[in-house]
Structure 1
Amino acid sequence: MTLILHAGATEVAYDELLAVATPPRTLSHVPVAHHEIVELMRYSLGFYGHEIVEEHHAVTEDGARYFGLLSLRSPDGEYADTLGLRNSHDKKFPIGIAFGSRVFVCDNLAFQADHVIKRKHTANAKRELPGLVAEVVEPLNTERRQQAERFLRYRKTALADEMADHAILSLYRSGVINIQRVPNVMEQWQTPAHDWGDKTPWRLFNAVTFSLTGRVAENPAMTTVLHRVIDGLCKRVR
């Protein structure tokens, strides 16, 4: 999970979040308590059978802005799904809910993921949020299964060095890695820092993500391109 705090927000316990005051509503702006956003997500996730295994919450000093991440255990693979949350009382940004295997939430207002929904603070926000949340949460099981099947395919496909070299060049041309990162990826492919098994697309995938630690999370679009290249590799070597 990636919750970056360098623009004034501080991480807090959930109990501290309960104590943050919510300003009164106006004709055009109806603030929603920060903790109510979290509670709505907890309820919706539980309703669809998902388990929250880790939470991080942060607020600005004045309590006006909230940023959060919830990590969900995936029964279909060795990875976690993540939900990113944000809310404001000062009209700086709408209620935001983000979902994906790579989610980036920063108090500098960067808010990125595979799926993002936003809702203005209006009188109908509380009534409409559960439906919007369901649109993100309900397909979660299907996406988990698809991701597990993809990773299994990566693990079971043998990969020769020549094909790995070709894929690394494709990743360079696609902008996933720059020229300085190519040697790092090659090193992790040949002598990996962790046990990623035999020479397969799974090892190559991990070699890339290991070499790009931090950068992938800051730019979730990289993950999409990385998967596209590795998926194409699997098709070619069948």
Structure 2
Amino acid sequence: MKGLLLHKGAELVPREQLENLPTPAATATHQPVSHAGLVKLVERGLAYENLNIVESSFGVTPDGNRLFGLMRLESENSEFGNIVGVRNSHDKKFPAGLCIGSKVFVCDNLAFSGQINVTRKHCPKIMQKLPGMVWEATARMGLEFDSQAKRIRAYKEVELSPMQTNDILVNLAENDSVVWRDIPKILDTYRGETHPEHRGNTMFSLWNACTEHAKGQPLETLCRRTQGLHATLDRIGGINVENSPVITVD
């Protein structure tokens, strides 16, 4: 899938190859979860909710310790698709987890909303709770994807003055949702100087310009920054999509 931005050094692998990757032995304080096992949990949860996967990509670091994956789901929307991001590690770098987001078809931009953001540390009892957390998350995805679509429609209705645009970009840079040095390029894109398809003076155009210049970032960084992007734009734009986030960090 275009848009899978891998961790430095990670390589794309076929889905079936995940089954052959070894999982380290557990210790008294650390219980690794197989990469294939986590992906299967998510796949089964999605299938139960009739959320069909139409495209997926997976990346693994050469030592096999870290997994990053994207799944694009079937959608009737012709403008953007719904995606699920998955990650896992055997080296305690980060917890097992998943989040949801959107993929704009015209430019392959990815953005994660943070409305469902499940993580679970690899503690000895991880498998007592992780399956239930994944199933709870997938059960909520239909409603949250509807909220995501409402948010994007709302962005299109918010017009921005040049001063408001500049203020928002400074705000985004201050909370590390965009990179300071990218602001001139984001403005060029927003004004249509480099990407005419992004031209406009709405919050949607600015959102697209920001995600355009998030390309090339590792998936974990992209997830964090685009979640911050959504939160900032929602707050400044007074946008309330009436969702109830599932954010579980343990």
CA distance in 2, matches of 1:141, 1:152: 17
1:225 Cα deviation (Å)? Answer: 1.5
Whether 1:151 aligns to 2:136 is no
Larger Rg: 1
Q: Which residue of 2 aligns with 1:11?
A: 12
Superposition map of 1:39-118 within 5 A? 39-63=40-64, 65-73=65-73, 75=75, 77=77, 78-88=80-90, 92-93=92-93, 95-101=95-101, 114=114, 115-118=117-120
1:13 Cα deviation (Å)? Answer: 1.6
Q: Percent identity?
A: 20
Give the TM-score normalised by the residue count of structure 2.
0.68
CA contact (8 A) 2:5 2:216 kept: no
Superposition map of 1:187-198 within 5 A? 187-191=188-192, 193-196=195-198
CA distance in 1, matches of 2:87, 2:238: 33
CA distance in 2, matches of 1:167, 1:136: 35
CA contact (8 A) 2:118 2:133 kept: no
CA distance in 1, matches of 2:119, 2:151: 26
Give CA deviations for 1:116-168 in whole Å, capped at 9, x if unaligned: 3113242x43342211112322221222111211222333x373xxx421321
Give the TM-score normalised by the residue count of structure 1.
0.71
The number of aligned residues is 216
1:174 Cα deviation (Å)? Answer: 0.7
CA distance in 2, matches of 1:62, 1:208: 33
Question: Greater relative contact order (Cα 8 A, min sep 6): structure 1 or 2?
Answer: 2
CA distance in 2, matches of 1:15, 1:170: 47
SS of equivalent to 1:5:
coil
Whether 1:225 aligns to 2:232 is yes
Q: CA 1:11–1:2 in structure 2 vs 1: closer, same or farther (change >3 Å)?
A: closer
Q: Structure 2: give runs of 5+ residues left out of the alignment.
A: 104-111, 241-250
CA distance in 2, matches of 1:46, 1:195: 35
1:179 Cα deviation (Å)? Answer: 6.8
**Worse-matched range after superposition: 37-46 or 171-180:** 171-180
CA contact (8 A) 1:95 1:121 kept: no
Q: Which residue of 1 aligns with 2:211?
A: 209
CA distance in 2, matches of 1:233, 1:27: 46
CA distance in 2, matches of 1:23, 1:17: 14
Q: CA 1:130–1:171 in structure 2 vs 1: closer, same or farther (change >3 Å)?
A: same
Q: Which residue of 2 aligns with 1:170?
A: 167
SS of equivalent to 2:51:
coil
